[in-house]
Structure 1
């Protein structure tokens, strides 16, 4: 199966800082966050992950990382958990 990949999960507000490192083989890891694609206006950060309930960028998280068997599933879960926020997002993931 080969050696695992060592993956660093970036801090969403400090690109120089790694929050955690994980060794991973045979699975996918996806992070959804507000720190790569955004702009700020009037001190407010506007990013690309929209909350369908409001039509505005989701505001309860900075980043969510998911490990799953399939990358598409990890992506969907990370984005959904990001929009739901920490409490409901964890309920979705656990």
Structure 2
């Protein structure tokens, strides 16, 4: 699997656990996602650079989002517009 795809899948898993407030301590979190603590912090840093308001809540023993955010990566089909109805699609 391509390196970027692996990283996106890892970010998706991190996002899921943060939303569930189920990361545990940094050590537990790294174990849950199957990476070193250093890599886990590196991925959180990348997510923060992308605008994720990630904080660690000591009382919950979990990383959390300080604000409600969404994350989506990938392609999806948009609703058709009249201009797109007449476009010819070539398949290879």
Q: Same fold (TM over 0.5)?
A: no
Q: Which has the higher helix share?
A: 2
For the aligned pair, the TM-score class normalised by the smaller chain equals under 0.3
The normalised TM-score by structure 1 is 0.22
Q: Which has the larger radius of gyration?
A: 2
